[in-house]
């Protein structure tokens, strides 16, 4: 089997994304939906229910009451936070120890959550808003690594040689050796999972938003900058390290000054402290 078809076969072997997440998103966006419908949908998925209850007592969501049932969780979280909590709970099940990138499940997840939080911090600064679709794209931006890792592991020496010997980015080395990079692959996975185009593109182009035709909005740039910020802070390190292009253009596109970026990084540390329960829903898995 060719490398390309082996990778695609591995993508098709991934389980479907939990339907609960898409149904919750649809209900939240439907002004006619009722609280009871939402509660019923969430309750259908036991693992999501358990994770939501755990997460919503996190300081990140800022609830004053201790919550021990889905109805109260939904009542107190608010619409945007429900989607975030359900999405995080649904996405977390796909994070596992990832060979090739030599990253444990917990480390991959911490990087995903860190990137999602930083993307929101940056978005708030740039547009004054926090968007659920941005949170989704950011939390799933490296999902391609989950599949590509096994292939990276097999060809690691070759990839590493291109990165260190030719000073090329890890992304370019993946493309050259495997015919596919983890970002593009992530976009394919997100398509299989029926995420909208805006999210798929932000995932597929998170390292190279400059390769997207203009008019695609700020989301790919926000995910790019948030990802690079987390790499810089060592949040979720792997064998690929910092061997990616940090595009100078990102700050200009987003209208951010260096001081804004530094303030956002500083704020991220605080938010990650507050989001320990969110980070903690993926436990170290046995080797």
Nearest Cα to Cα of residue 265 among 240, 237, 229, 239? 229
| Choice between 84 and 224, CB closer to another protein | 224
Interaction of residue 244 with another protein, rule CB under 8 A: yes
Interaction of residue 245 with another protein, rule CB under 8 A: yes
Shortest reach from residue 212's CB to another protein, in Å: 17
Phi and psi, residue 98, nearest 5° = -115, 105
**Separation between Cα atoms, residue 108 and residue 66, nearest integer Å:** 29
| Choice between 213 and 259, CB closer to another protein | 259
Interaction of residue 243 with another protein, rule CB under 8 A: yes
Q: Decide: helix, strand or coil at residue 98.
A: strand
Interaction of residue 265 with another protein, rule CB under 8 A: yes
Determine contact, residues 210/250, Cβ cutoff 8 Å: no
Interaction of residue 250 with another protein, rule CB under 8 A: yes
* Helices 143-154 and 3-12, packing angle to 10 deg: 140
Interaction of residue 46 with another protein, rule CB under 8 A: no
Residues 6 or more apart in contact with residue 263 via CB below 8 angstroms: none
Interaction of residue 282 with another protein, rule CB under 8 A: no
One residue of 128, 259, 286, 287 binding another protein per CB under 8 A: 259
Q: In DSSP terms, which residues pair with 98 in a beta bridge?
A: 103
| Choice between 19 and 232, CB closer to another protein | 232
Q: Which residues bind another protein (CB under 8 A)?
A: 163, 167, 169, 225, 228-229, 231-235, 237-239, 241-251, 258-259, 261-263, 265-267, 269-270
């Amino acid at each position: 089997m060719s490398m390309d078809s082996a990778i695609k076969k591995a993508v098709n072997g991934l389980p479907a994304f939990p339907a609960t997440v898409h149904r919750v998103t649809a209900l939240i966006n439907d002004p006619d939906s009722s609280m009871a419908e939402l509660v019923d949908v969430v309750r259908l998925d036991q693992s999501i229910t358990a994770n939501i209850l755990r997460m919503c007592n996190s300081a990140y969501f800022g609830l004053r009451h201790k919550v021990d049932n889905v109805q109260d969780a939904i009542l107190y979280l608010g619409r945007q936070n429900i989607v975030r909590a359900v999405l995080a709970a649904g996405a977390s099940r796909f994070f596992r120890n990832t060979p090739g990138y030599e990253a444990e499940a917990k480390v991959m997840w911490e990087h995903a959550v860190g990137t999602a939080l930083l993307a929101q911090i940056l978005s708030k600064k740039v547009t004054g808003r926090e968007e659920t679709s941005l949170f989704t794209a950011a939390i799933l931006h490296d999902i391609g690594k989950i599949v590509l890792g096994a292939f990276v592991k097999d060809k690691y020496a070759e990839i590493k040689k291109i990165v260190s010997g030719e000073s090329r980015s890890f992304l370019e080395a993946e493309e050259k050796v495997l015919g596919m990079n983890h970002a593009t692959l992530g976009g394919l996975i997100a398509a299989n999972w029926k995420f909208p185009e805006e999210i798929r593109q932000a995932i597929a182009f998170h390292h190279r938003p400059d390769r997207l035709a203009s008019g695609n909005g700020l989301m790919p740039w926000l995910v790019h900058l948030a990802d690079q910020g987390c790499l810089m802070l060592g949040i979720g390190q792997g064998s690929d390290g910092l061997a990616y292009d940090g595009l100078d253009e990102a700050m200009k596109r987003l209208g951010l000054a260096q001081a804004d970026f530094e303030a956002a990084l500083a704020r991220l540390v605080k938010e990650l402290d507050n989001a320990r329960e969110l980070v903690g829903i993926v436990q170290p898995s046995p080797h």
